[in-house]
């Protein structure tokens, strides 16, 4: 995770199939949630590939051998509300992770994200924060979250999103060049209203059935 912003786009046939399910406007809310959870498992695997481990001794039923234990303190940070949908799949492979929450809304006058809720565990020098947001569109909310995390003293952040737009990635790249981004799909662009194209609509609305 050192150097310039690195971007990992998942390349798996099952992920491509599930992305197609998310994109379809005829997909029901339950099927949308299920496909999203399956994709999140692949995101979690990719987002944790560079986590550090430490050697340990393991006693098997037959003898002693060497093994590994996690060396990083992982904090999952969903951006409310859509990011909540990714927490459970990530916890399934990171059962010891701590979970924080950040809520952001857009100021209709300045069009900038404004924080309305923040509750995040205190970071340690070994902390890695994985920011969870299904859609990386303009990058405004993610950039505001990164700014808050680095002000809190977090040494390393990873962004996990289901779909991302080039504009959002470039926004993060300019402001926070040492942040790793993991996404399941890199889409074409944003439209005039800031929606990702071809996209999947509003992830929060589709997850919660509030369309």
Residue 62 per-residue DSSP state: S
Strands 73-80, 127-132: parallel, antiparallel or unpaired by DSSP?
parallel
- Is residue 205 part of the annotated active site? The answer reads yes
- Is residue 11 part of the annotated active site? The answer reads no
According to CATH, the topology of domain 6-208 is Rossmann fold (3.40.50)
**What would you report as the CA-atom Rg of the chain, rounded to the nearest whole angstrom?**
18
Binned at pLDDT 50, 70 and 90, residue 3 comes out as very low
Of the candidates 23, 38, 98, 106, the residue annotated as catalytic is 106
Q: What is the pLDDT of residue 105?
A: 85
- Is residue 179 part of the annotated active site? The answer reads no
Of the candidates 11, 16, 49, 205, the residue annotated as catalytic is 205
pLDDT digits (tens, 9 = 90+) for 153-210: 898 999 999 999 999 999 999 999 889 999 999 999 999 988 999 999 999 889 988 8
Of the candidates 33, 73, 98, 202, the residue annotated as catalytic is 202
Exposure on the CB side of residue 203, measured as CA atoms within 13 A: 27
Domain ranges of the chain: 6-208
Task: Give the number of other Cβ atoms within 10 Å of residue 85's Cβ.
Answer: 23
- Is residue 188 part of the annotated active site? The answer reads no
The rounded distance, in Å, linking the Cα atoms of 142 and 106 is: 13
In the structure encoding, which two tokens stand for residue 153, read together?
């003293």
């Amino acid at each position: 995770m050192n150097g310039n912003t690195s971007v990992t786009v998942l390349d798996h046939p099952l992920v491509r199939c599930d992305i197609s399910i998310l994109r379809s406007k005829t997909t029901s809310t339950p099927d949308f949630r299920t496909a999203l959870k399956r994709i999140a498992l692949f995101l979690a695997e990719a987002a944790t590939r560079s986590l550090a481990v430490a050697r340990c001794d393991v006693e098997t039923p037959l003898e002693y051998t060497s093994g590994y234990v996690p060396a990083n303190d992982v904090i999952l940070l969903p951006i409310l509300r859509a990011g909540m949908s990714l927490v459970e799949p990530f916890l399934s492979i990171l059962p010891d992770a701590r979970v924080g929450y950040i809520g952001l809304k857009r100021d209709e006058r300045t069009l900038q994200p404004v924080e309305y809720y923040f509750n995040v565990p205190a970071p340690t020098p070994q902390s890695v924060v994985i920011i969870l947001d299904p859609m990386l569109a303009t990058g405004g909310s993610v950039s505001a979250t990164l700014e808050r995390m680095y002000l809190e003293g977090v040494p390393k952040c990873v962004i996990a999103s289901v779909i991302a737009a080039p504009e959002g990635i470039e926004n993060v790249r300019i402001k926070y060049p040492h942040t790793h981004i993991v996404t399941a799909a890199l889409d074409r662009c944003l439209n005039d209203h800031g929606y990702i194209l071809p996209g999947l609509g509003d992830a929060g609305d589709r997850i919660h059935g509030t369309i």
